[in-house]
Structure 1
Amino acid sequence: MRSGGKIAADIRGVFAARSGGNIAVIGGVFAAMVAAAGFGAYSLLSSDDSGDPLSAAADAKPSPIKTGPPSATEVQTTARKFLAAWAKGDAARAAAFTDSREDAAAALTGYRKEARISGVSLKPGQRTGQTVPFDVSAVISYGGKKATWTYDSELTVTRGQLGQALVDWKPSVVHPGLRRGDTLKTGEAEAPPIKAMDRNGKELTEKEHPTLHGVLAGLRERYGDKSGGVAGVELWIARAKANAAGAGDAKERPNETLKVLSKGRPGTLRTTLDAGLQSATERAVSKHGKASAVALKPSTGEILAVANSPADGFNTAFQGSYAPGSTMKVITSSLLLEKGLASYDRRHPCPKYATYGGWKFQNDDKFEIKNGTFAQAFARSCNTAFITQAEKLDDSSLSQQARDVFGIGLNWQTGVPTFDGSVPVQSNAQMAASLIGQGAVRMNPLNMASVAATVRTGTFKQPYVVAPSVDNRQLAKASRSLPPDVLKQLQSLMRLTASAGTAAEAMAGLGGDVGAKTGSAEVDGQKKPNGWFTAYRGDLAAAAVVPEGGHGGDSAGPVVAQVLRAGG
């Protein structure tokens, strides 16, 4: 039998070989310290604590590996020791209390060196389960300038592979705005500040339009050095590039200023946004806990408004990536009409069920339309009317139609980061699902507002928020427009849906040249589908998504209708 000292020595050897891995806490001495530690007495953490997880005696008898969630005492003690080491500036020691030593050490070292932060005080709050919130107060110093920076964050304690209690390391522990690959930096700002103006010369401020936070940051990053301003000294989040691990599949997010040490002089930048319609769109989405909407001008592609709820959340309106549900049937219908597989007033099948590629598809509430026309099927949003045509289409047909006619996925140059939609080539059941906006198809309100705008004018006009003449960039162009007879039928389909179909209730009272399409996209794990709605009225197109909103006509429909009314 191997002695306890030999086993402990072997375990220490494992520790030495595992750089950046989970570190075990063993030994009776440290266990006694944990039991005796009091958490509530530490209101402000300093640097006089001890107890590195590596300090256990080599000849101590090993304790059994613990399993299950950490106890309250373990959570409190681990959090206290981690925060104390961080406050002292000992990045290596603080990282030893995490489940990712290498990443944590790099982030905490950068916190001091790259972000120029010192004098850190950390005040833990009341534990909730395995999570401990804490307040941060720090001093930023750069070039003789100093500023106090305060914010809130939190950490969660988890069970390590060898049974020890460790901080579950995430970049958001350092600051809630950080994601994987992001860093904090202090210095002369990479771009001067800007004064963004709307299309009528009114300044657009984040205070008045908080939902423009991400858009204004993106405009500054791209146009700050082209607008005649002078950079100041700031602390900011330097975002990871879009192709970096964990950065997501949308274009890169703009850097974010967290603290200004000295103000620069802003330059002026004219945008296509309309302050009045922007306010109306913000009010419309604010009626939902989560919602996003975009409005644009079909004749030019100019973006007039963009809003998200919550206002300080992710810019889903421009960068979201959701299955668009039945709003995708606008693109699919254009394909069927062009190929002669459907016609506005021709009889078209709409059975309760349709099978393709081994999947059985059905309509909402399993309805059917007997001896109905394609127009009736579109207005009622019949899924099987599209699935029955899948066998007559090539796998790449829908992808080509979306790209060549509607400009989806053509690398739009809007002036700020955007996700420009994706309709990948699919086969079998996945191809059929794509026809009704499920499967791997991905869109956001910007994309779907553009789809409605393309139907309104017949030609894709790439959306943009800054005129291309400002920086001589080339806008994306679709390779062709819809044939006149197909366009006329598609407009009639959307007009019927707005007046007597699934969009009629939301569009009630909106006169003039109107068209609309509803959508509901099923998502695994959600009790209710995401609600979608896209529509146009005259020279104004808009689209909205309400995650977990249910039927698009009931959730996203009123949002879009309110925007269209506000636009006159």
Structure 2
Amino acid sequence: MRRASCGASKWGSWNEERAVNRPIIRLYGFVVLLFALLVGFTSRWTIFEASSLRANRLNARTLLEQQRVARGPIVAADGTVLAHSLRGPEATYERSYPTGEEFAHAVGYSYINFGSTGLERFRNAELDGRSGTNLQTVLDQLQGKKPRGDKVITTLNPAAQQVANRALAGQRGAVVALDPRTGAVTVMAATPGYDPNALRSAGGARQLEREEQGNAPRKSRVNRSVQFGYAPGSTFKVVTATAALDTGAFTPESTVNGRDNVPISGVPLQNDEHSSYGQLSLTQALAKSVNTAWAQVAEKLGKSTIARYMERFGFDKKPQLDYPAEEMSASGEYARGRLVAPTSGVVDVGRMGIGQDKLQVTALQMAEVAAAVAGHGKLMAPHMTDRIIDAEGRTLQTIAPRVQSVVMKPSTAAAVTSMMVAVVNEGTGTPAQIPGVQVAGKTGTAETLPATAINNVWFIAFAPAAEPKVAIAATLQGVPGFGAAFAAPIAKQVMERLLK
């Protein structure tokens, strides 16, 4: 009986201990859960979502931290410094732009009071020295390492950029040049321009804002290379020609009627100066830029076909450029301020096919049109960054050439090239001729004020035609004349500089 009693006593004691331990176990589990939640939320903001937190413009702490980081420099392809940081009081830094207006739109600016734009914004993480993983950033902070910005080496050519800016001469316009073999942007010039250094002082910023206030033509911080396009005029006929030849619906020798006042969508269409032609080959129609001929070609191809080739060229979406998407516009047909599909019922396909109707395009987009033909049918993704170098001189990233789309067959590209050569040799593009270099190009003139000679003018081209090294688009707004007289000479000067 004593043994049984002893056993019962031990069993009861064990049950009592078990009963006491249950709340402790629950409390322990609750503490472990709280700790796990703490680790989870801390990791979320310090590691997994740190980049989005830093990118939030409302995060004042990030802005204050940036003042204490020597952002890396942005340099041109030849090493010219385009942006760097200057040390100020209390171990803070401020950006400076040694070339002033020259690269303002491409490089942008970065200031605590005004935020950042351009490459400064797109490459913010690298320039702030945060291009590594968020975990690595945390470890560096624990080790007491101060962040140092990486260097951004661009593909921009200072000599050609200077030529472009001088040729634009303060008029509203833009020039974009690409290497069609790689997609490297060598020139991105837009006018009117501004000096980003002015934003370093309150007085300079106020002066800039006063100049822009209520004056649309003086919106100097608008990058007309990639924003707020307008009708491309006859340069768009290169897109229509590509669709016509690549589908097999036409050949360069196919004949079309070039008479004046041809009904297009039920409304008579005129040629420049009401010129009337008989039967023309497509090559002749492009060289002479005959509106009625190409509008009829576009109508025969139809909206779906034109739309398909527009998409391949990059229309109807924002460019695939290393530049903030918010600072770029999609090129295409616009109705009531909104982008509409080329197949929309509001689109007049005949007039769209000659670069009129509701088309609004940017200089970058039309440079890509030229580059796709120059690239034997392949369009390379455009990029302004060549490589990223850390503070120790190690290469962190090299931007490799990438095919954005296959626009047309190589045979089509060769045929369109021959047609564009005819434009420069014997057609409307003769002002773009370069001695010793065969240029392929296309002029464009879009009427802005009916019954006046004020137009938006264009010229797109590439050279040398046989082995292209440069593709370009030059445009001016509101000038009294045609693309051949105003835009072609600008493109010629920039191409000459790039081909030296």
Q: Taking structure 2 as the reference length, what is the TM-score of the superposition?
A: 0.64
- Please give the residue correspondences for 1:348-367 in structure 2 after superposition, counting only pairs within 5 Å: 348-367=256-275
- Contact 2:229-2:363 within 8 A present in 1 as well: no
- Contact 1:211-1:309 within 8 A present in 2 as well: no
- Please give the residue correspondences for 1:290-329 in structure 2 after superposition, counting only pairs within 5 Å: 290-312=172-194, 313=220, 314-329=222-237
Deviation at 1:482, TM superposition (A): 1.4
Counterpart position of 1:408: 315
Counterpart position of 2:371: 453
Q: Pick from 544, 549, 557: which aligns with 2:474?
A: 544
Q: Deviations over 1:366-401 (max 9, x none)?
A: 112223221111001000011223442332221210
Deviation at 1:200, TM superposition (A): 2.6
Residues 1:419 and 2:329 aligned together: yes
Deviation at 1:190, TM superposition (A): 5.9
Deviation at 1:477, TM superposition (A): 5.0
Task: Report the 3-state secondary structure (helix = DSSP H, G, I; strand = E; otherwise coil) of the residue aligned with 1:343.
Answer: coil
- Contact 1:529-1:548 within 8 A present in 2 as well: yes
Deviation at 1:323, TM superposition (A): 1.1
Q: Deviations over 1:447-489 (max 9, x none)?
A: 1111111111121111111148877999985553412332221
Counterpart position of 2:73: 195
Provide runs of 4+ in structure 1 moved above 6 Å.
182-186, 468-476
- Contact 1:422-1:443 within 8 A present in 2 as well: yes
The separation in 1 between residues aligned to 2:346 and 2:224, in whole angstroms, is 30
- What is the aligned length? 351
- Contact 1:502-1:553 within 8 A present in 2 as well: yes
- Contact 1:293-1:445 within 8 A present in 2 as well: yes
Matched letter for residue 279 of structure 1: Q
Counterpart position of 1:502: 428
- Rate the CA distance shift 1:567–1:473 in 2: closer, same or farther, 3 A: closer
- Contact 1:356-1:390 within 8 A present in 2 as well: no
Deviation at 1:303, TM superposition (A): 0.2
Task: Report the 3-state secondary structure (helix = DSSP H, G, I; strand = E; otherwise coil) of the residue aligned with 2:332.
Answer: coil
Segment drifting more, 188-197 vs 459-468: 188-197
The separation in 1 between residues aligned to 2:250 and 2:277, in whole angstroms, is 15
The separation in 2 between residues aligned to 1:508 and 1:529, in whole angstroms, is 23
The separation in 1 between residues aligned to 2:345 and 2:398, in whole angstroms, is 40
Residues 1:564 and 2:455 aligned together: no
- Rate the CA distance shift 1:309–1:527 in 2: closer, same or farther, 3 A: same
Q: Deviations over 1:190-241 (max 9, x none)?
A: 68644111123221254425142232222122223213559xxxxxxxxxxx
Matched letter for residue 412 of structure 2: V
- Please give the residue correspondences for 1:4-19 in structure 2 after superposition, counting only pairs within 5 Å: none
Task: Report the 3-state secondary structure (helix = DSSP H, G, I; strand = E; otherwise coil) of the residue aligned with 1:200.
Answer: coil
Counterpart position of 1:435: 353
- Please give the residue correspondences for 1:21-60 in structure 2 after superposition, counting only pairs within 5 Å: none
The separation in 1 between residues aligned to 2:66 and 2:167, in whole angstroms, is 35
Counterpart position of 2:127: 227
Segment drifting more, 480-489 vs 424-433: 424-433
Residues 1:208 and 2:127 aligned together: no
The gaps in structure 1 that reach 5 residues or longer are 1-181, 231-263
- Contact 2:105-2:193 within 8 A present in 1 as well: no
Counterpart position of 1:273: 156
The separation in 1 between residues aligned to 2:293 and 2:74, in whole angstroms, is 47
Counterpart position of 1:554: 485
Deviation at 1:509, TM superposition (A): 3.1
Identity %: 26
- Rate the CA distance shift 1:201–1:552 in 2: closer, same or farther, 3 A: same
Matched letter for residue 546 of structure 1: L
Residues 1:523 and 2:455 aligned together: no
The separation in 1 between residues aligned to 2:421 and 2:489, in whole angstroms, is 17
The separation in 2 between residues aligned to 1:184 and 1:225, in whole angstroms, is 15
Task: Report the 3-state secondary structure (helix = DSSP H, G, I; strand = E; otherwise coil) of the residue aligned with 1:368.
Answer: coil
The separation in 1 between residues aligned to 2:387 and 2:331, in whole angstroms, is 21
- Rate the CA distance shift 1:471–1:460 in 2: closer, same or farther, 3 A: same
Counterpart position of 1:167: none
Task: Report the 3-state secondary structure (helix = DSSP H, G, I; strand = E; otherwise coil) of the residue aligned with 2:255.
Answer: coil
Task: Report the 3-state secondary structure (helix = DSSP H, G, I; strand = E; otherwise coil) of the residue aligned with 1:226.
Answer: helix
The gaps in structure 2 that reach 5 residues or longer are 1-56, 84-96, 109-117, 131-146, 195-219, 334-340, 389-395
- Contact 1:328-1:435 within 8 A present in 2 as well: yes
- Please give the residue correspondences for 1:107-118 in structure 2 after superposition, counting only pairs within 5 Å: none
- Rate the CA distance shift 1:552–1:472 in 2: closer, same or farther, 3 A: same
Q: Deviations over 1:104-141 (max 9, x none)?
A: xxxxxxxxxxxxxxxxxxxxxxxxxxxxxxxxxxxxxx
- Contact 1:194-1:224 within 8 A present in 2 as well: no
Counterpart position of 1:493: 419
The separation in 1 between residues aligned to 2:59 and 2:482, in whole angstroms, is 42
Q: Pick from 233, 250, 275: which aligns with 1:342?
A: 250
The separation in 2 between residues aligned to 1:561 and 1:203, in whole angstroms, is 27
The separation in 1 between residues aligned to 2:485 and 2:174, in whole angstroms, is 15
Which structure has more RCO (C-alpha within 8 Å, separation ≥ 6)?
2
Q: Taking structure 1 as the reference length, what is the TM-score of the superposition?
A: 0.57
The separation in 2 between residues aligned to 1:213 and 1:455, in whole angstroms, is 30
Matched letter for residue 246 of structure 2: E
- Contact 1:362-1:383 within 8 A present in 2 as well: yes
Counterpart position of 1:283: 166
Deviation at 1:524, TM superposition (A): 5.0
- Contact 1:510-1:565 within 8 A present in 2 as well: no
- Rate the CA distance shift 1:222–1:371 in 2: closer, same or farther, 3 A: closer
Counterpart position of 1:166: none
Matched letter for residue 80 of structure 2: K
Segment drifting more, 470-479 vs 439-448: 470-479
The CA RMSD over aligned residues, in Å, is 2.9
